[in-house]
Homo-oligomer: A and B are copies of this chain.
């Protein structure tokens, strides 16, 4: 086969994880059992899902690299665009409907797989080609037509599936956990590679480039889970830095703290990891203080996580620990519980403690029908307010940031300002921020941390020192070329 695959499994070379198609079969079984158990479907029901579609950028013929739609991936593991899939709920019998490409496409796309090829590749019961669609041979685009003629003869229920499949996705099977572990292990190693090589004078995007290269070259992770956030100095306080309007383009200055939120995905399963450290490899006392405050919050949450615990309580625990530590550092003063009441923690950590993670970085199922967001600062940013259960996978990502707009608001608000030591806080403006983000799986009686990177100040400084002497060479200034 063109992809070099020799058995019905996903793999990107002998150094990468082999994922059996049995994982998706098990996912389908879990969904069918759930639909039955909850009496959601009549006898003879069939689940029908449409996969992601190939697309072109704007009016051009540029095809962005295809990435499968997440529900479809969870059900079938199909890598190619323009598929449909169906599952008989009573029997689990699975059918794929593949696009029938014109024979001449073999010249451009490689050997066209037959129905039987796909049946073997994805280990399903039946595969049928969707009748050829009208192909515009200039643009290469298909004219859309009603797929599945005759669908009107079936009774279609568009509402039952979404909540049930979302709920299935919340709980990861052993096989899914193994894939998440792999994506996390590779991404953890990639973070370490960046730590070993970063130095002042580098540009933020060069850290992004090293990270992606390591993930892809070493681990076969072609896609990253999300756009890399590589903030240095004050940029580390911009929560979604790295986007097209702020494209990781600042140069690293000696003394800058860096906040690197980067994760790769393997076969659509995500990782989401943040490391924070000074680009010169040596924490100042001030940096150490803030870092250790966040680290203490992270580990307090990890010690408390287990089935039955409320995620909202975990958020509040992290806030409380961080406020205690900020008080010790002299940035705030007063009664911690009073601070909690006026949501002082959200001034320094405006985002939620963490979120579900799986095939999507922000995975589905955070607020099932009947649950609501808590409309208070910080808490309203939580992507779930659920009680933890075995097999949930989440990020734990406390952080402390010095965001001028939020500091100014708080200082202007007497309820909050009374706890704030303004003259000390002023010294932290421009500091940036610290976030420590790990991915964890809730176990039967606690949790497993999937992320394996240096976390204590000492561990980080030691790894960064190892890089000395064999760091990458920076590009030469090219005599300032310009147009």
Chain A residues packing against B (C-beta within 8 Å):
2-5, 9, 12-20, 23, 52, 57-70, 79-81, 103-104, 106-110, 138, 175, 178-179, 182, 203, 205-206, 208-210, 212-213, 216-220, 222, 226-227, 235, 238-241, 243-247, 249-251, 350, 360-362, 373, 403, 405-406, 472, 474-478, 480-483
Hey, which chain B residues are within 8 Å of A406, CB to CB? 107
Hey, which chain B residues are within 8 Å of A104, CB to CB? 405
CB<8 Å pairs between A and B, sample of 12? A2-B238, A4-B250, A13-B203, A15-B478, A16-B481, A17-B481, A60-B362, A62-B226, A62-B361, A108-B238, A110-B246, A203-B220
Give, as a whole number of angstroms, the nearest-CB distance from A54 to chain B: 8
Give, as a whole number of angstroms, the nearest-CB distance from A234 to chain B: 8
| Nearest-CB residue, chain B, relative to A64 | B64
Hey, which chain B residues are within 8 Å of A220, CB to CB? 203, 205, 249
Most buried by B among A4, A109, A477: A4
| Chain A interface mostly | loop
Give the complex CA separation of A373 and B136 in angstroms.
Answer: 14
**Is there contact, CB below 8 Å, between A17 and B482?**
yes
- Identify the 6 closest CB pairs spanning chains A and B, nearest first: A18-B482, A4-B250, A213-B213, A66-B244, A209-B216, A110-B238
Question: What number of copies of this chain does the assembly contain?
Answer: 2
Give, as a whole number of angstroms, the nearest-CB distance from A119 to chain B: 16
**Is there contact, CB below 8 Å, between A203 and B239?**
no
Give the complex CA separation of A481 and B220 in angstroms.
Answer: 13
| Nearest-CB residue, chain B, relative to A4 | B250
Give the complex CA separation of A475 and B138 in angstroms.
Answer: 42
